Amino acid sequence: MLSTEDLALLEAIRESGSLSKAAARLGKAPSTVSHAARQLESRFDALLFDRSRYRLRLTPAGQLLALEAARLTLDVSRLTRRVKQIAGGWEDRLCIVTDEIMEFETLLPVIKAFDRLQSGVTLRITHEMLGGTWEALRDGRADLVVGATNEPPVIAKLRWFELGVIEWVFAVAPGHPLARAKEPLEPEAVAAHRAIMVADSSRRPDVRSYGVLGGQAALAVPGMLAKIHAQREGLGVGWLPRERVRSLLKSGALVEKRMADPREPNTLYVAWRGDHEGRALAWWLDQLRQPRLTARLVNGLDRFA
Amino acid sequence: MLSTEDLALLEAIRESGSLSKAAARLGKAPSTVSHAARQLESRFDALLFDRSRYRLRLTPAGQLLALEAARLTLDVSRLTRRVKQIAGGWEDRLCIVTDEIMEFETLLPVIKAFDRLQSGVTLRITHEMLGGTWEALRDGRADLVVGATNEPPVIAKLRWFELGVIEWVFAVAPGHPLARAKEPLEPEAVAAHRAIMVADSSRRPDVRSYGVLGGQAALAVPGMLAKIHAQREGLGVGWLPRERVRSLLKSGALVEKRMADPREPNTLYVAWRGDHEGRALAWWLDQLRQPRLTARLVNGLDRFA
DNA sequence: GGACTCGTTCGAAGGTATCGAACATGTTAT
DNA sequence: ATAACATGTTCGATACCTTCGAACGAGTCC
């Protein structure tokens, strides 16, 4: 194959346009370079050097080789770095999947801190909706999930801890008919109005349509933030995460309604497969155990404050 | 860097799960393989082999290296082929640009014949409209242009020969008002009807709108074939290449009209830059000098016969 | 024309890869 | 439990490859 010395030789000849000048540059004897050039030609079974004139130069084939050898050398040095990375206990890449209710910006400082480690680990952070987080972990699409809801399913070698608890509030716009309805609201009263629910982009059943009654009209929106907006505009009703609409409730832009059937809080989980633990995963798990970050992820950002 | 021996060693160990078995496979002494393994680890400054158990195995880092080394080896063998190709006088790639009026299928047998040469030269064949062929040659986007119209422009080292002559006919649908108009048709009579012209997909001025008069209504269509269809449907009028509509004229689906201002035939050219002549280009030029192929390209296919 | 440059060939020296023997440890079959 | 066999490492000797410097013929420049 090709060595760094081969590349250096080709580049020195290309740039100096002379074998003896190239040898001087490389700190080698001209005879060494001459011999090495012959060896290269023999190895590739191609004329790489034009000796028809006084000073030796690259043929077009030699030029192509010089160019491509440079690219290959880059490839190899990247590979060397990656191999060292892994030998040092870091992963090649880390895929983190969060529930879409969680705001990506909360993770930005963490990502920056991780970058400062200069581990070389490729990071990939994506969202999943509904039970999609557990699915991603099972399928191997995720190495780490943040904010998974429902009880942890049966997955080989699964490890997890609780992130926190998310509380729900049934809220309507002040001008919505249900805003003036007698409390606690009965299911029949709710069923007469359109429900707002988060669209399920996966093929799974609509797990996120909590409290939507049979036959009830529904509007599916692309995420929790969109759901908040839709309900604030009076387009429909449904459950919303309390901490994420706190200032809307306080300002009256949304009105909380007590329900005949209250909704239990949800526990959020951090989970990973225990058979693939590298330093990057360990680092992230450590961060996710920090109470301040945890609170921020669970409670979210009040985008309406 | 990496050698084919390095790759062979890594793969033999991975597949046999043992250093001594790998050595047997490679036809080498176990001590040689042991030493080579140590050298590899030293070169990458990483533990590539797990010696904690009876039989030596690859670490995750070693596995990544084995995988990536295989990919790199493939890269190098491709490069070796390319270098040999060029040293043998072939180009790395050949870009042929034809005028879009020419049917691609006419070139299929030529492409197949070229493939049979097994030169390794990458072939790229594209269309240009209007003066786009000359532009492609000047810009270096084309190595060879086929069917360029107008006089050859000033391009450094330009070489060319005539391919043939294309004749035009002013044709209208039988139900079109101009079909019954008195001959020869005067410009004023034509100007009252919509012109069909080939859309210019480049940024150049509309050179292909020959005979379109100022203020005349126009319909731009995506190519000569589309123009033929549009005129046959009576959507408008204009000049068409005589040989490509011969059977439509014969069947009466299109009616030829004599004009007060006849259109001169166009000369088509084959052109290339003379400073980059390899064996592939030479081969194609040779083919393009064959009278049968030339006639087919110039006269085209009568898709309506 | 003389001084210098260029690249090749050649023999010698230096560096690297490979072999086989010896050895310690682990595994398997009886 | 023991003997036979397997595994991988270390080490010295040998083989192979790379590099050097000297000598040389041909080209270039002042």
Same domain? B160 vs B182: no
- B230-256 confidence digits (pLDDT tens): 999 998 999 999 999 999 999 999 999
Establish whether this prediction's ipTM goes over 0.90: no
Q: Does some domain include residue A39?
A: yes
Residue A59, both tokens: 């043929």
Same domain? A206 vs A248: yes
Q: Is the CB of A3 under 7 A from strand D?
A: no
> Would you place residue A206 in the very low, low, confident or very high pLDDT band (cuts 50, 70, 90)?
very low
Looking at residue B248, which CATH number applies to its domain? Answer: 3.40.190.290
pLDDT computed for residue A208 by the predictor: 47
Q: What is the mean pLDDT of residues A101-122?
A: 91
Collapsed DSSP state (helix, strand, coil) of residue A256: strand
> Would you place residue A209 in the very low, low, confident or very high pLDDT band (cuts 50, 70, 90)?
low
Dihedral sign of CA atoms A72, A76, A77, A78 in order: positive
Same domain? A159 vs A177: no
Of the given ranges (A56-60, A80-84, A221-225, B81-85), which has the lowest mean pLDDT? A221-225
Residue B199 dihedral angles phi and psi, to the nearest 5°? -65, 140
pLDDT computed for residue B192 by the predictor: 87
Q: Does some domain include residue A305?
A: no
Q: Does some domain include residue A304?
A: no
Q: Is the CB of B289 under 7 A from strand D?
A: no
For strand C, the positions having any atom within 7 A of a protein Cβ are 5-11, 17-22, 26-27
Same domain? B115 vs B155: yes
pLDDT computed for residue B203 by the predictor: 43
State the amino acid at position A252 in one-letter form: G
- B145-188 confidence digits (pLDDT tens): 999 988 888 888 899 999 999 999 999 999 999 999 999 999 88
> Would you place residue B125 in the very low, low, confident or very high pLDDT band (cuts 50, 70, 90)?
very high
Of the given ranges (A103-112, A211-220, B162-171, B271-280), which has the lowest mean pLDDT? A211-220
Q: Does some domain include residue A261?
A: no
Question: What's the CA–C1' distance between B12 and C22, in Å?
Answer: 26
Number of domains, chain A: 3
Q: Is the CB of B20 under 7 A from strand D?
A: yes
Same domain? A250 vs A213: yes
Q: Which of A1, A44, A84 sits opposite B84 (nearest CB)?
A: A44
* Helix (H) / strand (E) containing B50: strand B49-50
Same domain? A162 vs A178: no
Residue B229, both tokens: 């269809």
- B259-297 confidence digits (pLDDT tens): 999 999 999 999 999 987 899 999 999 999 999 999 999
Same domain? A76 vs A141: no
Q: Does some domain include residue B23?
A: yes
**C1' of nucleotide C21: residue with nearest CA:** B31
Same domain? B157 vs B273: yes
Same domain? A32 vs A76: yes
Q: Does some domain include residue A112?
A: yes
Q: Which among B87, B110, B133 is the end of a domain?
A: B87
Say if CB B266 and CB B191 are below 8 A apart.
no
> Would you place residue A117 in the very low, low, confident or very high pLDDT band (cuts 50, 70, 90)?
very high
- B206-218 confidence digits (pLDDT tens): 444 565 666 677 8
Chain A residue with minimum CA distance to B77 = A1
Other CB atoms within 10 Å distance of the CB of residue B158:
16
> Rounded CA gap, B66 and B7, in Å?
7
Same domain? A178 vs A45: no
> Rounded CA gap, B14 and B12, in Å?
5
pLDDT computed for residue A222 by the predictor: 80
**C1' of nucleotide D19: residue with nearest CA:** A32
Same domain? A77 vs A196: no
Whole domain around residue B205: which residue ranges? 168-256
Same domain? B160 vs B276: yes
- Strand-pairing partners, residue B50, are B57
Q: Flag whether pLDDT at B189 surpasses 60.
A: yes
Q: Which among A67, A87, A107 is the end of a domain?
A: A87
Q: Flag whether pLDDT at B97 surpasses 90.
A: yes
Q: Does some domain include residue B304?
A: no
Percent of chain A at pLDDT > 90 equals 66
Least Cα separation, residue A35 to chain B (angstroms): 19
Q: Does some domain include residue B109?
A: yes
Chain B residue with minimum CA distance to A86 = B61
Shortest CA to C1' contact from B56: nucleotide: D8
